[in-house]
Amino acid sequence: MQDRPPLPADPASWAFFLDIDGTLLEHAARPDAVLVDASLLALLDRLDRATQGGLALISGRAVADIDALFAPLRLPVAGQHGIERRDAAGGLHMHPFPTQALRRAALRLRDFAACHPGLLLEDKGHNLALHYRQAPHLAHAAQEELAAIARELGEDFELQGGKLVVEIKPGGRDKGSAIEEFMGEPPFRGRVAVFVGDDLTDEYGFGVVARLGGHAVKVGPGPSAARWRLADAGAVRRWLAECAVG
Ligand SMILES: [Mg+2]
């Protein structure tokens, strides 16, 4: 296990990019079953102030979903693996891609999930996630079905594996590209980039912050390119609380 990440001398010199599920919150049985507690809201609010706005959420969830979860907080956010992003000034950025083909794939996947009890389709609009957390024995069937659909959709889309989930997402965008976009804008530009995440999709973000000379922090066990390591969401929160003090 690698070391616990360092603390900033001045929290406002760092740009904090945080994954949500498995990082700030433990994974739930269903993505709609997570609950953001008051202590997490207070912590993020404190960190946002201490960093003078240098805090953004980077998730596979849709931005509207994230806003609902974290209300009344309204942070800069990248959703659906970098397809949609709200910058620190409140500007919305959407990356275009062929939507009709994905709508047809969504219908096909809905039927597939209906025929396989325990599978859950999460239609995020621009990403389709098939969860098998409640039916791990269906992992192979779920992966095969999504691989077949991804082949039919062609090069505009790609498969993305995760913890007990497999997704189809538009190609060319990921959590790393979202972090790069934030780092080109105020108030993030010129700061030390820090990204904390727990899953395969977060490796894109780890690569980007390492290249920028920042800190990549992996949550939980498993192989990772990240330099630093925290054990679980509780450890992440304790470390962030110390960061907010500076
Ligand atoms: Mg995660």
Q: Distance from first CA to last CA of the chain, Å, rounded?
A: 25
Q: Give me the mean pLDDT over the 220-225 stretch.
A: 95
Cα Rg of the chain (Å, integer) = 18
List residues bridging with 215 in a β-sheet. 194
**Cβ burial, residue 193 (10 Å; 0-12/13-18/19+):** buried
Kindly state whether residues 202 and 231 are assigned to the same domain: yes
Q: Compute the distance from residue 58 Cα to the ligand 1 centre, in Å.
A: 9
Q: Residue 127 belongs to what domain range?
A: 99-170
* More confident: 7 or 172: 7
Same domain, 89 and 103: no
pLDDT of residue 1: 52
Q: What is the number of domains present in the chain?
A: 2
pLDDT per position as a tens digit, 45-64: 999 999 999 999 999 999 99
Contact at 8 Å (CB) between 13 and 187?
Answer: no
What pLDDT does 96 receive? Answer: 82
> What CATH number should be reported for the domain holding residue 65?
3.40.50.1000
The 3-state DSSP class for residue 202 equals helix
Same domain for 195 and 142: no
Domain termination site, one of 170, 201, 227? 170
Q: What is the mean pLDDT of the chain?
A: 95
29, 226 Cβ separation under 8 angstroms = no
Q: Give residue 63 CA to ligand 1 midpoint distance, Å.
A: 15
Task: Evaluate whether 233 touches 26 at the Cβ level (below 8 Å).
Answer: yes
- Which residues crowd ion ligand 1, with CB under 5 Å? 19, 21-22, 198-199
**pTM (2 decimals)?**
0.91
Catalytic residue check, 19: yes
Per-residue pLDDT tens for 68-112?
A: 999 999 999 999 999 999 999 999 999 888 889 999 999 999 999
pLDDT at 29 over 90: no
pLDDT at 118: 96
C-alpha of residue 219 to centroid of ligand 1, in Å:
9
Percent of the chain with pLDDT over 70: 99
Same domain? 193 vs 83: yes
Residues 8 and 91 in one domain: yes
Q: In the predicted model, is pLDDT for residue 2 greater than 80?
A: no
Of 170, 195, 215, the residue at which a domain comes to its end is 170
